[in-house]
Amino acid sequence: MKTSNVGRFILLKYCIITAIIFLLFPVIVGLFYKILTSEPVSISVFFQNINIDIRNSFIQVIITILFIFIGIYLIGGWLEILIIEKGKSESIVGMLGLFLLWVLLFVCALLISAIENYWTFGILGLKSSITNSLVYGLFLYILVGVINGLIFGYLIGHEIKKKKSAIQ
């Protein structure tokens, strides 16, 4: 059950592609809005706000990135084992891998929010944060995880199988 880093690098590549798509989406929407209407739109304000938010919550961003890298390391190796050694369906395994990364991202965001609110408001802040995350955030993370998994799941699984067979 020894794995190489093929699954991890492929999963990292598709995570970077997903991040780029998420950053380009507001630009595309803003450009279409500007073309279809005569109202001015400032896309740079969106990215300035993101920059300010990252600087204001730098520790949370670093913790989230570390969680994602740990998830990529663990899940990428697991994907490789399931696809190559166990012969499981590459599209289902690829989709499940991306979905699990979104679940990990949700858990990370929930824990960070819960800890911050616990420090500020005590046990009521902790309960409130967990409840709000489950009620308002869980569905969104599941939805985006399923969509992301459906779009890139087959590509990840197929690429892992192709690269691993080229190495052997």
Contact 157, 94 (CB under 8 A): yes
Q: Would you report the helix, strand and coil content of the chain in percent, each value rounded to 5?
A: 90, 0, 10
The model carries a pTM of 0.86
Distances, alpha carbon 25 to alpha carbons 41, 46, 79, 153, in Å: 14, 11, 28, 20
Mean predicted confidence (pLDDT) in 53-59: 93
Q: Which of 36-45, 119-128, 135-144 has the lowest mean pLDDT?
A: 36-45
Stated as kind and residue range, the H or E segment containing 19 is helix 6-36
Q: What is the pLDDT of residue 168?
A: 62
* Mean pLDDT value across residues 55-60: 93
Residue 1 has pLDDT above 60, yes or no: no
In whole angstroms, what is the distance from residue 73 CA to residue 56 CA?
28
